[in-house]
Structure 1
Amino acid sequence: MLQAERLESGYGNSKVLFGLDLEIGAHSVVSLLGRNGMGKTTTVKTLMGMLPVQGGSLRFDGQEIGGLRPHRIARLGLGLVPEGRRIFGSLSVLENLVATSRNERKGLWNLERVFGLFPRLRERRAQSARTLSGGEQQMLAIGRALLTNPRLLILDEATEGLAPVIRHEIWACLNQLKDEGQTILLIDKNLKEMQHLVDRHYMIEKGRVMWHGSSQELLAQPELVDRYLGV
């Protein structure tokens, strides 16, 4: 579905990605792992067109998307739950969801499906989004992304800073999405939860993929966690 080959990107003259390779197959769940500052969020921003591709290629369903604007990439089927949630605080829960709703494909995500996944959003649909708890805002951010009906859903630190009970709800949601065949790219630090969810992990360091493999392969090589994820 998505292939990045020798991908280079960064911020102006400051390059962050140096020939990164990444492949995400349809209906798979892939993780991007690495310490802070190694290029994970830069990769996400490049995939979504928020940073320019400075080298290499980036294809989605065989189409080169490296030069497309973010709104065009989103319309192709890439949906993002950004780091820090970025919900529209001045709008209600319902207005946040309606703002991104798309009804162009079969098997749709709609308001009822999102409310079924996160019943608390139904209860608070008239409430200002800025008054939600952190966990409820994260649910809203995920629901908003699902209403774009993404073919590839990207989640950047979706459980960071949340209470354990809310993290459990988010992981249950992601497992349900996997069971339904949703393609997912996941950035998170919780390897215990990811090992049953993720089909393939990519570990990056200084803008390069240093290792990739299955959860079973990762569990068999604990030194990799110390090398690439340890503080």
Structure 2
Amino acid sequence: MSDVKTAKLALDNVTSGYGHVDVIKSLSLDIRRGEIFALMGKNGMGKTTLLKTILGLLPLKKGRILLDGKPTDNLGPKGLVDAHVAYAPQDQPLFQDLTIRDNLRIALRSDRDLNAGFDRVQGHFPFLTDRLGQKAGTLSGGEQKMLIIARSLMMQPDLLLIDEISEGLQPTVIARIADALKTECEANGTTILIVEQHLSFVLGIADRWAVLKLGVIDDSGDIAGDTQDRILEHLRI
């Protein structure tokens, strides 16, 4: 683990969960500035619980969470938004009866940033800005996932947390999302923590990875030639 003071996001002996049940157990992890970090693991291993803990949606029982070297204890969800932290959740919380324009607009505090935001997401998903007046509920499943990613990018985040975005998507949609995420990292220095089970998607975009098993990091490393085999061994168990 690198120095927690130099990481974009650092978890230091974090324990969290629901009530008296500890789901995340003394977990330490760092995400470097400007990298894509993939957190993998089978269902029920605590991946989404960890994201919710980082976002302040679940209480931190023990340990520290640091953003740019500073504790996030007193920030809460609103404070994290102010710190340019964005979240693309798994369960597609779009406003189905609102237009694409209004769903994108919700990510911003001021309409002064609207055109800049549209310009940014148009480069990744041109079809969205061509259909700004269309209701989100009329989009296909893949288009809605792209809208979720686009909305999270509207605020120009420094840190983006993504939960299982590729689930159920066609390869062409996955490829478009992968290109968008890689471009964000390369062009804007965005740091991305992505929870995923789609192995080829991860291998195509991530710099580093870790496997979560029963609330602890079971293995981790850089993306390398043996990465796929190492991860598959953990996912089979």
Fold shared by both chains (TM-score > 0.5): yes
Cα distance between partner residues in 1 of 2:92 and 2:37: 20
State the match for 1:198 in structure 2.
206
Alignment TM-score, normalising by the size of structure 2: 0.89
Give the percent of matched residue pairs that are identical in Structure 1 and Structure 2.
34
2:195 to 187, 193, 200: 187
1:87 to 91, 94, 102: 94
Which AA in structure 2 matches 1:24? Answer: I
Is residue 30–residue 186 contact of structure 1 (8 Å, CA) maintained in 2? yes
State the match for 2:117 in structure 1.
110
Is residue 48–residue 74 contact of structure 1 (8 Å, CA) maintained in 2? no
Is residue 20–residue 208 contact of structure 1 (8 Å, CA) maintained in 2? yes
Match status 1:213 vs 2:221: yes
What SS class does the counterpart of residue 148 from structure 2 fall into? helix
Following TM superposition, where does structure 1 have runs of at least 4 consecutive aligned residues deviating by more than 4 angstroms?
none
Cα distance between partner residues in 1 of 2:230 and 2:132: 46
Deviations 1:159-210 (A, max 9, x none): 1111222112111212222222221111112222322321111111110111
Cα distance between partner residues in 2 of 1:14 and 1:55: 13
What SS class does the counterpart of residue 74 from structure 1 fall into? helix
5+ residue gaps, structure 1, are: none
Cα distance between partner residues in 2 of 1:215 and 1:80: 24
Match status 1:222 vs 2:229: yes
Which AA in structure 2 matches 1:176? Answer: T
Cα distance between partner residues in 2 of 1:65 and 1:217: 36
What SS class does the counterpart of residue 66 from structure 1 fall into? coil
2:50 to 6, 24, 43: 43
2:63 to 36, 45, 56: 56
Cα distance between partner residues in 1 of 2:171 and 2:225: 27
What SS class does the counterpart of residue 100 from structure 1 fall into? coil
Deviation at 1:66, TM superposition (A): 2.9
Is residue 101–residue 144 contact of structure 1 (8 Å, CA) maintained in 2? no
1:97 to 104, 108, 122: 104
Cα distance between partner residues in 2 of 1:109 and 1:71: 22
What SS class does the counterpart of residue 224 from structure 2 fall into? helix
Is residue 159–residue 190 contact of structure 2 (8 Å, CA) maintained in 1? yes
5+ residue gaps, structure 2, are: 1-7
Alignment TM-score, normalising by the size of structure 1: 0.91
